[in-house]
Structure 1
């Protein structure tokens, strides 16, 4: 892989449109969808009607998609072969266009030793590769992009006009430098100085309004926002993690339980995306060898009928939470879910109770109704926007919430009718919990005080949102989320999976999120990787040992390496996201944020087992 190449999953999850990427000689911003080379066979269409239909509805409601627009999902562009003169890829404009020379000039300011480096523009660099700056005396210096840019809460991004910031309306064309005192990274020790004597401390650049008004620039789209802006610009460190938070929608593909023809049509739904009539089916057979080979013996009318059924089912399914549809399939109790076929999107088996419920287990398993071994699943993730400064939270039911953050989601295209997506294949374990057992635990006198503390912590946390905060997911969700994290950590030790390779889907779904009963309770722990046709089966093999794994996971949580500080932590109003936590830290329940579906929020091991601080509210009172 070259230094200028990214994996498909990175383009969706990390370096999508609007994100800044460091290259060996410069920094660039990843271009919008109009600047992706999608000609010929550079991409693959991904068929997931549930996902596209839901995004069409939600994005149209938010005014980010024209009503009636039909979306399609496409993979990022990939070069067909290494012999191409210019590999397929994504255009990435140079940004920022201010650079700092690496050649250091030393001096003194007010009796203090200082170091300063020349500040230059992109157009000031040599014309051969734009890698060096040539001083007036002929000296040459390598350059690096300046670390600071300006952005607003709508996601707009622009270069800082350093001359205006330092001089105001006074014109000046004298050379400028970045001057540093000492070796600390303190903004107060770094200044932008001009040959005329004017200077600006970076500490002052953080003041509201000091950088001026936003012009609505969108360098990833090579334009300006037609709606304008005018918000106050904020200083943004180019390499900081808060420069780009992708908005990704993820679903687990579900099987279509019908005849053989329906299964074949579903497998070829990506190739049949443009079919709108029976006549189109005949054309697809004629010009697409793949369709002809699979569907040739079947009548065109029957094929179109099955295609319409699949699309209608997706529209109906899109009206409810994607997690509810997934839970309904996994918790059906059927011995076999889906088809055991290499091309199947989902195949799982509900294990008999005597296959996993060890009678000698030192833990009460009555709260677990079923364990499902998911031999094969497909996860589809789609990028539809991004935010800066703050990440837009995902709701506990897996849907897109209309959250009024201080920041707003920015578009990744001007008017494209497709979105970038990836499909990943893997395996997993689904555990269906007894909803009535969780309801009884929630009503216990000993559980109510902890429930009230978690609600109070949520009340403090939600004040960070300007208007509508994400709804409280419910104390049953906090319970299941904590169990999921405990199991992921233990499964990694048991199966040898890297901790960051596992993911979760927590199902605590009900008519109310005010901390009441959840009508559907379960967790799915799975692993998935792009381009893989399944994994080695480690998770599926662990399903019969789930009683032992759960016991070991809970036993490990009794003592945290950060106790008693961790055990004594209470949800409060002084620690940001920590206000959503009870006893939880990186020593016990927190995992990689790429593995957690809700950014490590709403966790509490006190709900699971007795700790040195409390034991009254534990769900598993004896292990």
Structure 2
């Protein structure tokens, strides 16, 4: 019996949303990789339903519909689930013990090697050596990512034809860019610090490379500016590449959006429908057709709700209707504020994912009573988190209303795939405490000059 291939590394499902999603660079023992786009993921996890989040994400991405799936998990059967990755960067440093003298100073030096030179084992001057990925790459504020053209950099010439052996000279701890040089056997030598200067253009114009999306991932790269109406618009000029340390904290910022699942009068119906909807009942075109489908034995658990109610829910899912006129946080606040001491939330007992109870303020210290309107003990809640993209160099964080928009021209969202019809998501179960402050007291405080 042929054994299943072992993965090169393992990641938790949550890590694939927050730290190592598509477009992120990950160090492995022998090389560095970039996590592939969603179309290269092998299999999907369980579908995750959360209508309010689905509607918000579809609006942000400008699509008609979107689905959520948990990242693929390890299985014990013959199916191979997992996440593919591509080797990146494709330049390596040979681990040789050499020194180089320049201007009276001694530098440790290592040869720069292309991946093609080490595929069958790294060799240098006829001897087998170890090679490690170079730690410097280039990227732009659109999330694009590429290898540095080390020949161009060393020769300070975008049209150079020299292909002499390249070396990386380092002095001190290796963290001072003023002490790191790229050198060619032809005699050219250039400090890496030039690529770190503000608004530096020494790495050239971005070519729109997206190695996590494979050979078809390259796109046009445009820089953006603010027009006279205050809108962020693309220009006809490309961005310039910036130096990026691939393991640095600013190499990847996941963009996620989350909502708390709130009580729903039709929660039981939706829970059962979730089992049959994806790839099955979502293709039903008429209520009459659905009635015939529900006669089959496998739908017995669902059929008890009646064709009319089921069809209404299917139509609602297809249309993406919901509380689209309210922000995510507004709906959540309304749910928490509607709790009462006796009953909790009106629909808590009907929902397995949400149970919140209003705590009496009778025992509260009198000095706090004017400032606190309500304290809600949330005994049970479910949070759904979905990744919609990522940025490089700096994070783009959702505002207080739970929206996620590119309001800064400094960075823009990188895509998770060429065509996005589903996104990775996870569910978190937990509990907490909600404290509502007195609105009048907050307003009075805001007006106080002190």
For the 8 Å contact 2:269–2:305, the answer to whether it is kept is no
Q: Secondary structure at the match of 1:205?
A: helix
Measured against aligned partners, the alpha-carbon deviations of 1:122-160 in whole angstroms (never above 9, x if no partner) come to: 110042xxxx411223x2111111010011111111000
**C-alpha separation between the residues in 2 aligned to 1:336 and 1:118?**
68
1:279 is displaced (CA, Å) by 4.8
Q: Secondary structure at the match of 2:143?
A: coil
- Equivalent in the alignment of 1:485: none
For the 8 Å contact 2:253–2:391, the answer to whether it is kept is yes
Decide which of 335, 338, 344 is 1:332's aligned counterpart: 338
**C-alpha separation between the residues in 1 aligned to 2:338 and 2:248?**
45
Query: Does structure 1 residue 121 correspond to structure 2 residue 111?
Result: no
1:408 is displaced (CA, Å) by 1.2
Query: Does structure 1 residue 134 correspond to structure 2 residue 119?
Result: no
1:80 is displaced (CA, Å) by 2.3
Q: In structure 2, do the counterparts of structure 1 residues 294 and 406 end up closer, same or farther at CA, with 3 Å as the change threshold?
A: same
Q: In structure 2, do the counterparts of structure 1 residues 390 and 279 end up closer, same or farther at CA, with 3 Å as the change threshold?
A: farther
Decide which of 62, 66, 75 is 1:71's aligned counterpart: 66
1:192 is displaced (CA, Å) by 0.9
**C-alpha separation between the residues in 1 aligned to 2:292 and 2:153?**
62
Q: TM-score by structure 1 length?
A: 0.63
- Equivalent in the alignment of 1:234: 242
1:53 is displaced (CA, Å) by 1.1
Specify every segment of 5 or more residues in structure 2 that has no aligned partner in the other structure, as ranges: 1-5, 223-237
Q: Secondary structure at the match of 2:101?
A: strand
1:293 is displaced (CA, Å) by 4.8
For the 8 Å contact 2:167–2:183, the answer to whether it is kept is yes
Q: Secondary structure at the match of 1:371?
A: strand
Decide which of 376, 395, 402 is 1:398's aligned counterpart: 402
- Equivalent in the alignment of 1:436: 440
**C-alpha separation between the residues in 2 aligned to 1:364 and 1:372?**
16
**C-alpha separation between the residues in 2 aligned to 1:104 and 1:57?**
56
For the 8 Å contact 1:154–1:407, the answer to whether it is kept is yes
- Equivalent in the alignment of 2:209: 217
Q: Where do residues 52-63 of structure 1 align in structure 2 (5 Å cutoff)?
A: 52-60=54-62
Decide which of 18, 40, 59 is 1:13's aligned counterpart: 18
1:399 is displaced (CA, Å) by 1.4
Q: In structure 2, do the counterparts of structure 1 residues 306 and 118 end up closer, same or farther at CA, with 3 Å as the change threshold?
A: closer
Q: Where do residues 450-465 of structure 1 align in structure 2 (5 Å cutoff)?
A: none
- Equivalent in the alignment of 1:377: 381
1:2 is displaced (CA, Å) by 7.3
Q: Secondary structure at the match of 1:353?
A: coil
Q: Where do residues 503-514 of structure 1 align in structure 2 (5 Å cutoff)?
A: none
Decide which of 87, 96, 108 is 2:89's aligned counterpart: 96
1:224 is displaced (CA, Å) by 4.0
1:58 is displaced (CA, Å) by 2.3
For the 8 Å contact 2:209–2:219, the answer to whether it is kept is no
Q: Where do residues 592-611 of structure 1 align in structure 2 (5 Å cutoff)?
A: none
Query: Does structure 1 residue 33 correspond to structure 2 residue 69?
Result: no
1:228 is displaced (CA, Å) by 4.2
Q: Where do residues 131-530 of structure 1 align in structure 2 (5 Å cutoff)?
A: 132-137=121-126, 139-167=127-155, 168=157, 169-207=159-197, 208-222=200-214, 223-229=216-222, 230-256=238-264, 258=265, 262-271=266-275, 272-273=277-278, 274=282, 276=284, 277-279=286-288, 281-282=290-291, 285=294, 289=298, 292-308=299-315, 315-334=321-340, 335-337=343-345, 338-340=347-349, 344-354=352-362, 357-358=363-364, 361=365, 363-443=367-447, 447-449=448-450
1:269 is displaced (CA, Å) by 4.3
**C-alpha separation between the residues in 1 aligned to 2:312 and 2:217?**
45
1:307 is displaced (CA, Å) by 4.8
1:56 is displaced (CA, Å) by 1.3
Q: TM-score by structure 2 length?
A: 0.86
RMSD over aligned Cα atoms: 2.4
Q: In structure 2, do the counterparts of structure 1 residues 348 and 143 end up closer, same or farther at CA, with 3 Å as the change threshold?
A: same
Q: In structure 2, do the counterparts of structure 1 residues 385 and 193 end up closer, same or farther at CA, with 3 Å as the change threshold?
A: same
Q: Where do residues 560-579 of structure 1 align in structure 2 (5 Å cutoff)?
A: none
Q: Which has the higher strand share?
A: 2
**C-alpha separation between the residues in 2 aligned to 1:284 and 1:147?**
57
Measured against aligned partners, the alpha-carbon deviations of 1:432-481 in whole angstroms (never above 9, x if no partner) come to: 221112222333xxx324xxxxxxxxxxxxxxxxxxxxxxxxxxxxxxxx
Q: Give the number of aligned pairs.
A: 417
Q: Secondary structure at the match of 1:380?
A: strand
For the 8 Å contact 2:94–2:124, the answer to whether it is kept is no
